[in-house]
Amino acid sequence: MDKKIVAAGMQKGFIGAVVAYFLAIALGILAGIWENHCLMIVVQFISTVFIRLFKFLSIPIICVSIISSLSTLSQNNDSTKIFRHTIFYTLSTTILAACVAASLYVLFTPANVAVPGSAPDISSKLGSHSYLDYVESVVPDNFITPFQTANVLSVLLIAAAVGIAISKMPRGSKNQDLMITFFKASQDVLFTLVNWLIVVLPIGIFAFVASLAQEVSHGVSLGGLGTYFALVIAANLIQMFIVIPAFLMFKGFNPIKVAKGMLPALALAFFSKSSAATLPVTMRCAQQNLGEKPQVAQFVLPMCTTINMNGCAAFIFLTVVYLMQNAGIDIHPGVIVAWIFIATLAAIGNAGVPMGCFFLSASLLASMNVPILLMGVILPFYAVVDMIETSLNVWSDSSVSAMVDRDMKELDAVAESR
């Protein structure tokens, strides 16, 4: 009875969110066509506020999530072996997701979108710096500046160092427990703030759509925006139905049986758009339906919720490269190769919360001074993309956990035979 009530509540909440999104889009189109001067001032204000809120939340979430995952490495006797296998599969699947996105971009490069206010001289500004200069800027010279300047890669580096340092503290010591508790509590607070932002998100969608409708009414060409969305969705579907199943079959799994066992988690991920919110169901399905050892599932899945983001890697690559292209930056093979690895690294630091990839992409662009006005155009349509991405992320998490569990069982069998 309780499950039916929960399911009914989830369905009602999902339907309400969909209605709110479509209503916001419809009202935004009408407002943009109407072009009332006072209303458009309010629309511009709301758009600016939402973009600032996205940037405000993204950096702390990325930092705290990475620290929370890495700080618990020492709390499990077999954590080192499990961690190595988890990192191997995570990096392999995530970098392949970025490669799939890069291949699609090269084959079907979307046309530019003429968005007023984009900076035409940004390519010359960035062109004066070499890649070594950019790599050098990633290494922080103090603790505060990366957070003030929204330098995501520097924050990732700091978070990884702090998380590993906490894990190396004396196991079970008062100081270690205090630090782990602090960062996990901070993570809960940030997730609550994100949930609040999601509640009022239709207001932001209204503002972004109104701005877009006004620009379209003035003859602004949307160019290859449709191609861009098609590439994002295609990259996710290829990863979901071809790449991940290939990994499972290589390890001796039947992908259909694994998917069937994880179906409740995959469905919840699609509707909730949050791999973090889905985590309890994912862990239960992995242990009960797939027969995974609790020791593995309870270690791998929480970690993968933060660091295993296949869908995010594809979205980051396509979004950042497309907006760089739209800003007039030359996208040559060197840039594509560099961003395959940057997208992979950045995706590993993404938080498993709704809009996490969107927040992270906006932060990466802002850190390079690339205009992010086009992110407001992408936002109204991102809800659908986010559903597919989250399902892919949870599907990849589940597959990584299953493969690590099989590796651990094989190692245990070899040890027992000796």
Highest mean pLDDT of the ranges 19-28, 47-56, 117-126, 389-398: 389-398
Residue 304 confidence (pLDDT): 83
Of 221, 228, 194, 219, nearest to 378 (Cα)? 228
| Rounded CA separation 269/387 (Å) | 7
Residue 129 confidence (pLDDT): 45
Secondary structure (3-state) at 328: coil
- The answer to whether residue 211 scores a pLDDT higher than 60 is yes
pLDDT tens, residue by residue, 215-258: 666 554 556 788 899 999 999 999 999 999 999 999 999 999 99
Residue 27 confidence (pLDDT): 80
Contact, 207 vs 28, CB < 8 A? yes
Residue 349 confidence (pLDDT): 60
Residue 46 confidence (pLDDT): 82
Average pLDDT over residues 377-403: 87
- The answer to whether residue 299 scores a pLDDT higher than 60 is yes
Helix axes 333-348, 356-367, angle to 10 degrees: 130
Average pLDDT over residues 396-411: 93
Of 195, 247, 285, nearest to 13 (Cα)? 195
Higher pLDDT, 59 or 1: 59
How far is CA 346 from each of CA 1, 9, 309, 339, 375, rounded to the nearest angstrom? Answer: 42, 34, 9, 10, 18
pLDDT tens, residue by residue, 79-88: 678 888 999 9
Look at the alpha carbons of 131, 136, 138, 144 in this order and tell me if their dihedral is positive or negative. Answer: negative
pLDDT tens, residue by residue, 112-167: 876 544 333 333 433 444 445 555 666 778 888 888 776 666 777 888 888 888 88
Residue 55 confidence (pLDDT): 67
159 residue type, one letter: A
pTM for this entry? 0.65
Least confident of 283-287, 342-346, 360-364: 360-364
Residue 102 confidence (pLDDT): 96
- What is the per-residue burial (b if ≥16 Cβ within 10 Å, else e) of 306-324? bbbbbbbbbbbbbbbbbbb
Of 314, 279, 287, 272, nearest to 100 (Cα)? 314
Of 86, 413, 99, 399, nearest to 251 (Cα)? 399
Higher pLDDT, 370 or 260: 260
SS3 of 155-175: HHHHHHHHHHHHHCCCCCCHH
Residues 6 or more apart in contact with residue 224 via CB below 8 angstroms: 109, 110, 111, 112, 113
- The answer to whether residue 406 scores a pLDDT higher than 50 is yes
Please count the residues of the chain: 418
Give the rounded percent of residues in the chain with a pLDDT score beyond 70: 78
Q: Tokens for 342, please give them.
A: 């940057």
Q: List domains and CATH numbers for the chain.
A: 2-417 (1.10.3860)
pLDDT tens, residue by residue, 167-196: 888 877 888 889 888 988 887 887 778 777
Residues 6 or more apart in contact with residue 302 via CB below 8 angstroms: 69, 279, 283
